[in-house]
Structure 1
Amino acid sequence: MTDPLTLALVLIIGLCLLGHSVGLSMIAGSFTYLLAKGYDPSITPDTILQGLYNGYTLLAIPLFILAANIMNTGSITDRLLAFCLALVGRFRGGLGHVNVIASLVFSGMSGSAIADAAGMGKIIISMMTREGRYSPAYAAAITAATATIGPIIPPSIPMVLYALVSDQSVGYLFLAGIAPGLLMAVLMGLTNYIIARRRDFPVEAPVPLRDMPRITFRALPALMLPVVLLGGIYGGVMTPTEAAAVAAAYALLISATLYRSVGLREFYGALLASARSTASVGILLAGALALNYVITRENLPNALADFLLRSELSGIEFLIAANLLIFLLGMILDGGAILLIFIPILMPSVNAIGIDPIHFGVIAVVNTMLGLITPPYGLLLFIVANISGARIGRIILEVIPFIAVLIVALAVLIAFPGLTLLLPRLFGYQG
């Protein structure tokens, strides 16, 4: 007779290969496991409801999604791009640098790589390809690559998911992402500069110094959002979930009253888009909660921890092996699914070996972001291909240098945990 766990996993993989939702596939597999074991199948909905009901931190996800959609609907993105163009457009490959800086700034508001690529990407790709200054494939590739910064610089939806399954502080995870996000931005900026020199990319007309105060003033309300969020969280004024609500309210306030770019119709559209995205994340969460119950019943996390302890792997060896696994999974699975399914399996081993869970969380999120631009899944690649009209094969060729430097960034983060943990420790983290 087939082992119930094997039967469940085969069913999940089979349904995913047939194109069904990952979340629904996990629910179906978990339900099948319970039936095969002779357990009460009502455990599945009960586990899902209990997990969602007790996950107060999860409320941050739809609120950050709403904030990002409001910003993409209004003129916030346009003003931020104008500010970034004034800063770095004058350098060789200027619009590529604008792409990097804009992603860095936008990441402090949305927490989502997809929101970054789909919202800001439409505008920046159009700017880059106008009059044939950059090829559509290169514009799409650098847009997809820089969008991976979004979930690393706080706020970050993937880090909220990691905090949920690892029982770690969202605030410390947000702090730990700042230095890695800056490292990623610097390396991608250098890569763009080298490519721009080799291909003789154009230099944008420098913005007169007298215009800088006006451009900065127009973008200032949007630029203040990360300051409000992080100041509120680390000043003890609000929790990360409350900060997400403030982000959505702030984005709506400045878009509707100050910029006058969002009316009732636009706000309704943002709510509708946010509801769709939240439902997609919710189904994935529900499936992960059900499958994690199965994994816990089978005692897989503790069995893996015992096996690794007997193998006497060092911390760095475990990190290399775990990140290789996450990287390979990222080629075929959504990053959220990886965080929700595999992190709970790995966490007992992380704790047993003595690896700092905040450090591990940041490098795990960075690694899952790599999966968004790595074939064959590469969700961001398909999004920018749809926006730019470039062939996916050409985009893949153009994105390879950026994948390479992001792997370098990941290696640096693995080798030097102090880079990740410096800011959290300054704010009282004891790890």
Structure 2
Amino acid sequence: MSPAFTLCLVVLFGLAAIGAPIAHSMIVAAVVYLAVAGQDLGLAAEQMIQGIYDSFIILAVPLFIVAANIMNEGAISDRLLDFCKAVVGRFRGGMAQVDILVSLIFSGMSGSAVADAAGVGKVTINMMIRSGHYSPGFAGAVVAASATIGPIIPPSIPMVMYALVSDASIGYLFLGGVVPGLLMTLVMMVLTSWIAHKRDIPAEESVPLRKLPGITFGAFPALLMPVILLAGIYGGATTPTEAAAVAALYALLLAAFLYRSVTWRSLSNVFSESAKSSASVGLVIGSALIFNYIVAVENVPNSIASMLDYLDLKPLAFLLFANLLFLFLGCLLDATTIILVIIPLFIPACRALGIDLVHFGVVAVVNCMIGLITPPYGMLLFVINGATGIAVSAIVREIVPYLLALIATLLLLILFPDLTLWLPRQFGYQG
């Protein structure tokens, strides 16, 4: 490792430690590296512009963000909430179960954990607290934990980013996330049921079965979105990026014409907020592209691969080591940074050890989502704090059981690759 690269890392982590945005930290660190190494400073802008311009797949990110914001602004999320209340609200701890089921369904539309937590999650938190049966900390913990499902069930913005740095198929990555996402949902619902019985949380008032067909009919157009999305991709009609555009257009048509729940003013807010979020994500992606150039120049991936060859790690030992590292980094860094900067360092080693990149990618994304609820950084903890005013410390106290359950689920996905690869193989994946 050259002195220039050492200084680059010191600047990067030093700026991040004092609270500078990670994108700005990476750009400044990259400029410092280029200056010390005697390279043209214009390389930073060149890598950013060319990397973003040449990657059609990145366009899927702002389109999925637009789709999520339209659903939060319109009545789509309300219809889904009513449907979930009718299905699982009748059980003990029903409102918490409703939030988990809403997260599962909403994840098939937005692909964003933050959109889930800040949108429909805020509504379910208020409903839980108003019922008087749930403490604010527990309500916030359930919403934060269930929001991690969002980027696992397709579509998934983090998986799009992983595909960008690994060249893995987005379609098969999306399929690979289905079973893990369902498993995470099941684990959290079982845990919630156990907690509800232990705390003697009463059952909610059940919705009469005669009303269920009408509620289902009202939510049916929204429930169709993930079906349309996946059918387009796997039927060969659309690329993942085109499917993201279809998702945004479909959400707009539902909100504007079917549910008539958006106005020109609210639509303006949707596009404004989507532009801000997309710019933020784009800046992180661009800065990561610069940093990845530096990593390639320093030959870091090959150095790591050589070190692993020297240690003679077996594939399972490598996966356990990598995921322990990702869990640790998840306490300090945001998921986007880990996916765009850290994970690419391990891709050559995966290829050398014969580890399937779809399996590795899905497991890595699950790991990064766990990082979103892991103190002290845990972005979702702060998103919920900002949206509801619930103290982060109260959420952290209640989220520990969910954190342990999700880590146990992650271990199952590592030990049994078929949980991830079974569904892609049904669609012709040869990995």
**TM-score bucket (shorter structure):** over 0.9
Q: Distance in 2 between matches of 1:95 and 1:273?
A: 29
CA distance in 1, matches of 2:131, 2:305: 57
Alpha-carbon offset, residue 406 of structure 1: 0.2
Q: Which residue of 2 aligns with 1:43?
A: 43
Distance 2:421 2:375 in 1: 31
Q: Deviations over 1:149-205 (max 9, x none)?
A: 000000000000000000111000000000000000000000000000011112111
Unaligned runs of 5+ in 2: none
Matched, 1:124 2:124: yes
**Paired AA for residue 175 in structure 2:** L
Q: Which residue of 2 aligns with 1:237?
A: 237
1:139 aligns with 2:139: yes
Give yes or no for the alignment of 1:407 onto 2:407.
Answer: yes
Alpha-carbon separation, structure 2, partners of 1:401 and 1:17: 28
1:220 counterpart residue number: 220
Percent identical pairs in the alignment equals 55
**Paired AA for residue 323 in structure 1:** N
1:215-263 Cα offsets, whole Å, 9 max, x none, are 0111111001011001111111101100000000000001000000011
Aligned to 1:342: 342
The equivalent of 1:384 in structure 2 is 384
Question: Distance between the aligned counterparts of 1:88 and 1:321, measured in 2?
Answer: 38
**SS of the residue aligned with 1:39?**
coil
Shift of 1:423: 0.8
Cα shift at 1:207: 1.1
Distance 1:131 1:95 in 2: 9
Given that residues 110 and 156 in structure 2 are in contact (C-alpha distance below 8 angstroms), is that contact kept between their aligned partners in structure 1?
yes
Q: Is the 1:309–1:353 Cα contact (8 Å) retained in structure 2? A: no
Distance 2:424 2:193 in 1: 32
- TM (norm. structure 1) is 0.99
Contact 1:141–1:384 (CA<8 Å) still a contact in 2? no
Structure 1 residue 386 displacement after superposition: 2.8
Aligned to 1:422: 422
Other-structure match for 2:96: 96
Q: How does 1:31-430 map to 2 (within 5 A)?
A: 31-430=31-430
The one-character-per-residue Cα deviations of 1:274-333 (angstroms, maximum 9, x if unpaired) are 011011101101110011111000000011001101211000100000000100000010
**Structure 1 contact 16–22 (Cα < 8 Å) conserved:** yes
Query: How does the TM-score come out when normalised to structure 2?
Result: 0.99
- Within a 5 Å distance, the mapping from 1:9-20 to structure 2 comes to 9-20=9-20
Amino acid in structure 2 at the alignment position of 1:172: Y
Q: 1: CA distance between counterparts of 2:105 and 2:19?
A: 35
**Deviation of the 1:16 alpha carbon:** 1.3
- Distance in structure 1 (CA, Å) of the matches to 2:64 and 2:129: 30
Give, in whole Å, the separation in 1 of the partners of 2:202 and 2:274. 37
Which residue is equivalent to 1:27? 27
Partner amino acid, structure 2, of 1:122? K
SS for the counterpart of 2:181 is helix
Matched residues in 1 for 2:61 and 2:145: separation?
22
Structure 2 CA distance for partners of 1:200 and 1:388, relative to 1, 3 Å: farther
2:152·2:362 contact (CA, 8 Å) conserved in 1? yes
Contact 2:136 2:394 (8 Å CA) reproduced: no
TM-fit CA distance, 1:48: 0.8
* Residues 136, 389 of structure 1: 8 Å contact kept: no
CA distance in 2, matches of 1:220, 1:424: 26
CA distance in 1, matches of 2:193, 2:320: 30
Matched position secondary structure for 1:261: coil
SS at match of 1:342: helix
How big is the shift at 1:385? 2.2
For 1:35 and 1:297, the matched residues in 2 are separated by 14
Deviation at 1:389, TM superposition (A): 2.7
Report how many aligned residue pairs link the two structures: 430
User: Per-residue deviation at 1:211?
Assistant: 0.5
- Once the two structures are TM-superposed, the CA of residue 209 in structure 1 deviates from its matched residue by 1.3
Distance 1:120 1:69 in 2: 11
- Separation in structure 1 between the aligned mates of residue 122 and residue 8 of structure 2, nearest angstrom: 41
- Amino acid of the residue matched to residue 197 of structure 1? H
Letter in 2 for 1:191: L
CA drift of 1:387 comes to 3.1
Please, what is the CA RMSD of the aligned residues? Answer: 0.9
The secondary structure found in structure 1 opposite 2:119 is helix
Partner Cα distance (1:344, 1:332) in 2: 18
